[in-house]
Each structure stands twice: as structure tokens, then as C-alpha cells.
Amino acid sequence: MPPPASLSPSSTTASGLRPARRRSGLLRSQAFCGVVFIAPALIGFTFFYLLPTIRAFYIGLTNWSLLRAPKWVGFDNYVRLFNDEKFWKAIWVTFLYVLYNIPIQTVLGLLIAVLLKQLTGSVLVRSVMLTPFLISNVIAAMIWFYMFDPVLGFVNVMLKAIGLGAHPFFSDPNLALPTIAFINIWRHMGYTALLFYTGLQSIPEHLYEAARIEGSSEWRTFRSITLPLLRPVLVFVLVTSVIGSFQIFDTIAVTTQGGPGTSTRTILWYIYQEGFVSMRMGYASAMSTVLFLGLVLVTLVQMRVLRSGESDLS
Amino acid sequence: MKKSSKRIPVGQWLGYAALLILAIISIGPLWIAVKTALSGPTAWLTSAGSLVPHETTLFNFQRVLGFVDSSDPRITQTGMAKINFFRALLNSVIFTVLAVAPQIFFSATAAYAFARLKFPGRDLLFFLFIAATMIPGAVLFIPNFILIKDLGWLNTFQGMAAPYALMTPFAVFYLRQVFLATPKDVEEAARIDGASYFSIFFKMILPMHSGALATLAILVTVGTWNEFFWPFLIGREENVRVIAVAINAFRTQQQAGSPDWTGLMACTVLGMIPMIALLVFFGRKVVESFQFSGGK
């Protein structure tokens, strides 16, 4: 805790000048005002970020159904988790989902960004591409659940019309997870494209002129100028979308609820089921701690692979 | 990619065609939802592949908003449940306002302190705030749920809004960057004239950065309006549940095989109208807010 503000000598301004009029020493003190300005946010931070992070780890060391007091079990939950086939299956399903989701979303985002830059910067077109992102996961999932309905869904009616026959997209164990990834790609591709588009705008035009004078092909220019200079944006997009994808929940809650079988039981859905349906808060917390550490690891690997610390403009 | 003077027109047309297809994929499904919601609840069954409403009516909107009496033959005939979506829309507005307005104000005061005021422990605290942006919601939701439960705030608006209302690391970080990027000579001049930090914050900082505050408000409002997981854990009862939670509840109530699609699509359309309206009325501002949300 900071010392009492009245003892702090910092009531001079940054320029070193004393305030012209001094009414109340306390209200003039930088330290006092600083603490007052930060206090509400600090309370929020302490109760909803700092303490819960510590508590999550503690709960993971107990067995707790919320009905009785938590029972200390040490690292039992972690041992159990290590031998829990369902846990590893959920990790695998989540990993597959990320694998379907991220490359397609990123490539489509890049493609749209390049098309926008080359053909039109119109706000209308950018608005249209952003629209799915303004709609919630739940509504997006609901609309596509309807579009893919085996009998009345628009997609299946069209597939039947062109002779391909209807597919039960959400009740086929092989199709359910890719279909959920598709919904996420649909919602995020335009937003990703806008982030890349901003990155493209910041690349100096003279670099392209130089490439043109040297007779570089479009693809080569893209590989050796656009892509490297886009790396800061690429790092941001990949890191945030990978972290988000590992926590997929909403779409699954609305559509498959983990099924058919276990084909869409992702890690957060499993944690939710263990914690809030089976009331095993300790085990659920242990899994969420492992997920957290896994995400830190994945992020560090991404930063390393993408060499996020280095600049390309030299 | 370069803007080549000898660009082949064929490639350009292919580019326009690709953009058009992607645009149709982006908003086409929304139209299908709208046309279904506008179709008669039974007439629609025979025209699922149509691109326009069949027997156009506002009946589905009226019934999900609770404006149609439940003894109405059109409801009893089709056996469709009465849905009170009006309440859910109202709840979403309350939740969003309670979570967003104080969050932006208190994040702004904190950001100002981090950017301009020296106080003991400031840099350590800022480091902790930044570190908090890395903590996934998947870790926080169990302890936060237990805290809200212990406070007796389950199924209350304060329970749903509390974790967002005092700060989010993103809002603090974003505003601190904005405040740091502006020169501080004007503020220093005001200090020399005897203005307090409070009057500088309210009379100079907030008005001067109204554009950035609006950008943040747009980003945070869209995110909060669309939030599902946390309200789903805390507020499931009808008197507090927000649209996303209500839509999920309607969907899981449906009997397998014969969902009330026209009613569900009316709900989804009502749920997305506010965000689409934001885009229609403030198009450029919204697009640019999201475009620069990546940090630059």
C-alpha cells in the first residue's frame, strides 16, 4: 500500500514548478490523486482478476461440490486428470478444432484484405465484411444451425436441388466439428481481414515501387515485402485467435452440446460439464489451470516461431 | 501487392467476383434469417428454399415479443410456446449499460493515473494489469462464479455486470496508450494556473479524447451485448437473462425434429438489430474502431 499522500513530497508538477495557488495540499498531491483515480479499477482488478487466479489454483487442490466445505486433496486432481481419457480426448478435439479454424480463417482474412486494398477501400464493403463479427456467437450458431437443418435448412434444400442430397451436418460425428469451425471462420474472417487491411495500409508505397522497378512478380513481392511487414499484425491475429479458439464454448452450447458422442466435446465444454453439471469444482479448476499453462506455452511458442521481437523494416 | 499499371482486367474481374461471393457468404445467411422470420409460421414450411418471405407477416415478431395473446388460434393451432423475448431485449440493454458505462469511466480514471500521475507502486501495478490481459476467461470463471454465489448475487444484474463494471485490462491499456500519445503541455499549463488533477481530468482529458472514448465504447458495447458464457452462468432466470442466454434456452427447449424456426429466427433478427443499427448509423466509425482494435 502506498504511504499516506500527505507525506509525499510530489505536489510539484512534472515541470518542477509549484502550483500558483495552494488550497488543499491533499487534492494537489499527485500520489493522493493517483490513488483515488486508480482505486475503483484496483478493487475490480483485485476481486475479479488477481484473487480469482490464485483461488483457481487453490480450488484445483481440493474436492469441492459447493455444498460442503472444500476438502484438501493436494495434487490428486492433477494425477487423475493425467489418467483421464476424456480429458485427453477433449484436448485432442480442441486441438483439431484450432487446426481446422486458424489456417483457413487467417488465409481467408489475408485474401480479403489484399482484395480490399487492390480493388476498393469502400466503407460499405468493409462494413459488409465486418457484419458477422458484430453478431454474437449464439446468434451466428443459431442461424447456421437453421441453415444446416437436414430437412428445412437452406443449405440442405440447395444441396438437394442440385442433386447432392442433404447432409446432417451437426449429427454426423465426422462433420460436426468442421461445421462448428466453419461457423467460427464465417464470423471472424471479415474482422481478421480488417486487421490485415490496416496492416497493409501502413506498408510504405515506395517499397512496392522499388519492387516494380526491379521487375519482381506479384507473388514474389507478396512473399518478400507484404508478408514480412505484416508480421506484427499476423502475430496479434494468430495469438489472439488461437487463445480464443482453445476456449470455444458458445457455438457448441447452441448446436451439438458436445455430441454426437464426444466428437465436439472441447476442453471448455468438458470443464463446464465437470464443474457445473457434475459439481466437481476442484477437478474443473485443475483442468482450467492446465489449460491456462497450455495457453501460455502455445503463446510463447508462437511468439518464438514468428520472431515477434524482431523488426523487418531494416 | 503492387498496384500494377499493366494489371490484367481478367484478374481484376476475378478479384471483384471473389469479393462479391465473400460478401454474399457474409450477409446472405442473415437475409435467410430475416426472410424466415417474416414468413407465415406454417406457409413457410413449403418454401424453405425461397429467397423471399412467404405470406409476409410480422406475426412472428409480435408473438416472440409477447404481443399476441396465448389463446390466439394461430398459436394454439401450431402448438408453439409463448416466448417473452421483449424481457430478454430489455435485460440485454440493462446488462450492457451496467457493464459498459462504469467500466469506461473507471478505466479512464485508472488510465489517466497510469499515464500522468506518479504514485508509489504504479509501475508494478501496471505490469500486473498487463499480465491480467493474458489470463484466459476459462481460468477465472469458476472462482468468479463462486464469489458471485457467495455474495448472493446469482440471477441479479449486479452479479452479471460486476466483473466488467470497475475495469477491464483491455480498456485500461487502450486508454493509457491514447493518453500517453498526446503531449502534456496543455495539462501542465493548466496545472501552473492552479487547476486540480480532478478538474484537468473532467474538463480537459475526457472532452479532448471523446473520439477514443467513443471507439472504446463501441468495441466494449459490441463485446458485452454479444457476451454469452458469463451471463449464462450467472443469470439464467427469465427476469435477468439476456438475449444470447434466452435464445440458447429456447433452442434447447424445442422438441427434436420440429424446432419453431420462424420464432427462433424472429429472436435472432431482433437480437442482431441493435448491432446492425450501430453499423448503419455509424458505419465508418464502427469499421475503423474494429480495424484499429489490433493495437495500432
Q: Cell 481419457 identifies what position?
A: A85
| Closest residue to A55, CB basis, from B143, B201, B267 | B143
Cβ atoms B147, A72 nearer than 8 A = no
User: Could you tell me which residue, A264 or B56, shows the higher pLDDT?
Assistant: A264
Percent of chain A with pLDDT strictly greater than 90: 68
Identify which of A21-30, A200-209, A287-296, B10-19 has the greatest average pLDDT.
Answer: A287-296
Report the residue of A27, A65, A139, A287 to disrupt the B interface, i.e. the one with the largest count of B CBs within 10 Å.
A139
- Asked whether the beta carbons of residue B192 and residue A226 sit closer than 8 angstroms, the reply is no
Contact A127 B279 (CB under 8 A): yes
Displacement of CA A156 from its chain's centroid (Å)? 31
Residue B186 CA to residue A236 CA, distance in Å, equals 34
First and final C-alpha spacing in chain B: 21
Whether B279 sits inside 8 A of A268 (CB atoms) is no
Nearest alpha carbon to residue A94 among A239, A238, A244, A248:
A248
Does A13 sit within 8 Å of B117, measured CB to CB?
no
Q: Which of B184, B141, B260, B65 is nearest to A289 (CA)?
A: B141
Structural domains in chain B, sorted by start = 85-234 (1.10.3720.10)
User: Taking a contact as any Cβ pair under 8 Å apart, which residues of chain B between 218 and 247 contact chain A?
Assistant: 222, 225-229, 232-233, 243-244, 247
**pLDDT for the residue numbered A180:** 97
Distance from CA of A64 to the nearest CA of B (A): 11
The pLDDT assigned to A135 comes to 96
| Beta-bridge mates of residue A234 | none
Task: Give just the sign of the alpha carbon dihedral B2, B5, B11, B15.
Answer: positive
Determine whether B7 is exposed, middle or buried from the number of CB atoms within 10 Å of its CB (0-12, 13-18, 19+): middle
Alpha-carbon gap: A216 to the closest alpha carbon of chain B (Å)? 10
Q: Cα(B87)–Cα(A264) distance, rounded to whole angstroms?
A: 32
CB contact (8 A) between residue B143 and residue A285: yes
Q: From the list B15, B117, B291, which residue is nearest A195 (CB)?
A: B291
Residue pLDDT tens, chain B, 296 long: 444 445 567 888 999 999 999 999 999 999 999 999 998 877 777 778 888 888 888 988 988 888 887 677 666 555 556 678 999 999 999 999 999 999 999 999 999 999 999 998 999 999 999 888 888 888 999 999 999 999 999 999 999 999 999 999 999 999 999 999 988 888 889 988 888 899 999 999 999 999 999 999 999 999 999 999 999 999 999 999 999 999 999 888 876 667 888 889 999 999 999 999 999 999 899 999 998 887 54
**Per the CB < 8 Å rule, is B19 touching A276?**
no
Min Cα–Cα distance to chain B from A91, Å: 14
Cα-based angle B265, B268, B271 (whole degrees, multiple of 5): 150
Å between B52 CA and nearest CA of chain A: 12
What are the extents of the domains in chain A?
A: 5-59, 79-305
Whether B29 has its CB under 8 Å from any CB of chain A: the answer is yes
Cell representation of residue A31: 500520489
Kindly state whether B291 is in contact with chain A, defined as any CB-CB distance less than 8 angstroms.
yes
Strand-strand pairing, A62-63 and A71-72: antiparallel
Q: Coil, helix or strand for A71?
A: strand
- A108 contacts in chain B (CB < 8 Å): 22
CB contact under 8 A, B166 and A190: no
Helix orientation angle between A176-201 and A85-119, rounded to the nearest 10 degrees = 40
- Chain B, 42 to 81: residues with Cβ < 8 Å from chain A are 45, 48-49
Q: What is the CATH number of domain A79-305?
A: 1.10.3720.10
The angle, 0 to 180 degrees and rounded to 10, between the axes of the packed helices B210-225 and B283-291 is: 80
| Residues in A touching B129 (Cβ below 8 Å) | 45
Q: Identify all chain B residues contacting A189, using CB atoms and an 8 Å cutoff.
A: 22, 26
CB contact B13 to A (< 8 Å): no
Cβ of B253: how many Cβ atoms within 10 Å? 11
